[in-house]
Amino acid sequence: MSKTITKFLERFGWNIENYVWDGNAHLFYVKEPDDLELKFEEIRLAFKKVNSLGADRAFPMLRRAGDELILVVIPQPSFDYVKNKMNLYLLLATIFTTTWAGSMWWASYSGSELLGMEWFWLRLLITPDVFFMGFMTFSLPLMAILGAHEMGHYYYAKKHNLEASLPFFLPMPPMIFPFGTMGAFISIREPIPNRKALLDVGASGPIAGLLVAIPVTIFGFWLTEQNAVLAPVDSGDSLYLGTSIFFDLLYSLTSTFYTPSGDYLSHPVVLAGWTGFFVTALNLMPAGQLDGGHIARALLGPKANGISFGVILLLILMAFYDIPGFGPKYSGWAVYAVLIYFLGTSHPPPSEELSVLGKSRWAIGILTALILVVTFTPSPIYTVESEFDLSIESDINEFNPVYGESNMTNFTIKNIGESEGWDNLTINIDQIINYTIIFEVDYIFVNERDSLLNSSSPEFGNYVWWDSEGQNLTLNLTSNSYANLTLSITPIEDPAEGVFSFDLRAISRTEQVYTRTFDLVVEEKT
């Protein structure tokens, strides 16, 4: 068989000086041709067209050992790539899951009543207008960004005569991952031929995706201003998305064309663009088999393998320590570091790693490094604790009512939040048939004045007042101010046996509801 391969190589002008079979590959010691890069590409393409080893495939590789140039021919068994519609099925599934995720973002943005209902996730699927808007405002722009990213890889793989698949998208239920997808990939079914192809294939995806993410994000900024959905004063402890240098810069640049007129909720299209920037940065990390790993290997050769461990170490540090000026630590980086480690930190060399990369491709490599720096989000997801909080404490929570007698207890409502502004609290209480339940304010402590006010104080009405029907009480409390109230429960007839509960509710201006439950326990008469 070696003679067959020798004749095949000589036919393409390769001067063979020696031959060795090492048990896995054919090693041909050759004289270096004048145009090494073109000659190797010629033989690589020739091996793809013939069955030279009696097997379906053979891949040539070029290595230098000291002063000797070795052409390595590796036989591989047939790869039975079944031509099916898996790509299409995964594409449709990912459109569905990203639309599902988008409908959740749209419901939150539009203040849909679905948010407070049971089986919220399933109700989204059977609410046509919300589901459609989830597709239009999130799934469509996000899939355009991811599609452009993968088709950039695909185009340059084909340009370098590589056998590559169409993209495989990865669907993910939004209950598990809030964006509805883990991204996509293409399968390249043969070794990368040289450093130029390796860099082109690695860099083309992130650049193509970024070029789509930029106009998507700008359009989202415009929609945010046009729809003008005011952000709530406070929605309790909430998850927030961090931003990158590029995202903030893009917002500043677009703001020069219009003046933002308020503090508005970001439109879901902005979230799709944000996701595009986030995916771009993740893929450009110079580690393992990521796009950045391809680029680093093309630029630095074997030295790039050590950078992978540096990336893993940096991610672990960011999982446990804050980066000043960029937000709190993000524990998810530790998971990503583990994935990089187990997927492989070393990048395999291209088939031919001896040719010169060229200044233009070095410039592209430096550009992708800059894109990584400006699109990377150190704190992508973090929790911000609410500045508003309330405590309701009572002396007694359980009463044993007796006809003709009143049960009374004192309770205190205190603003324990850190917000310096006023918080108007609406206080109301459930009513139970055959009971009279009333409450009244004894006094209020005003923290900034360090004084107690009761109903005889001239300024009492500035902090305490009832609505026109006398049913809902409003307390005007600042941080660390509190009100002391008396609750009175009186049965208006002989109470029935059993346990009855009623709630006292304090509703803040942020629409957060704080509840204290009281029980009426009437024992069986003997």
Nearest CA among 22, 26, 14, 23 for reference residue 59: 26
Q: Are residues 209 and 224 in the same domain?
A: yes
H/E stretch holding 128: helix 128-134
Q: Are residues 359 and 508 in the same domain?
A: no
For the chain, give the longest Cα–Cα distance: 115
Task: Decide if pLDDT at 526 tops 70.
Answer: no
- pTM (2 d.p.): 0.76
- Return mean pLDDT, the chain: 86
Q: Which amino acid appears at position 385 of this protein?
A: E
Nearest CA among 70, 75, 77, 38 for reference residue 59: 75
Helical ranges in 160-255 per DSSP H: 195-227, 245-255
Per-residue pLDDT of 384-426, as tens digits, reads: 777 778 889 998 889 988 888 899 999 999 988 776 666 678 8
Helix (H, G, I), strand (E, B) or coil at 86: helix
Q: Are residues 409 and 495 in the same domain?
A: yes
Q: Span 179-206, mean pLDDT?
A: 91
Contact 296, 310 (CB under 8 A): no
The range of the structural domain enclosing residue 51 comes to 2-76
Q: Exposed/middle/buried for 359, CB within 10 Å: 0-12, 13-18, 19+?
A: exposed
Does residue 323 sit within a domain? Answer: yes
Contact 419, 480 (CB under 8 A): no
Q: Are residues 154 and 71 in the same domain?
A: no
Does residue 81 sit within a domain? Answer: no
Number of domains in the chain: 3
Does residue 238 sit within a domain? Answer: yes
Task: Decide if pLDDT at 211 tops 50.
Answer: yes
Q: Which of 54, 76, 98 is the last residue of a domain?
A: 76
Q: Are residues 224 and 369 in the same domain?
A: yes
Per-residue pLDDT of 217-272, as tens digits, reads: 999 999 998 888 776 655 555 667 888 999 999 999 988 887 776 678 889 999 99
Task: Decide if pLDDT at 29 tops 60.
Answer: yes
Q: Residue 198 — pLDDT band, cuts 50, 70, 90?
A: very high
Q: Exposed/middle/buried for 322, CB within 10 Å: 0-12, 13-18, 19+?
A: middle
Question: Domain containing 398 — which CATH number?
Answer: 2.60.40.1510
Please give the Cα distance from 431 to 441 (Å, whole number): 18
Contact 329, 321 (CB under 8 A): yes
Question: Domain containing 22 — which CATH number?
Answer: 3.40.109
Q: Which residues contact 365 (CB under 8 A, 6 or more apart)?
A: 199, 203, 295, 298, 299
Q: Are residues 62 and 95 in the same domain?
A: no
Q: Are residues 416 and 340 in the same domain?
A: no
Please report the pLDDT score of residue 128 as a whole number. Answer: 92
Q: Which of 76, 98, 114 is the last residue of a domain?
A: 76
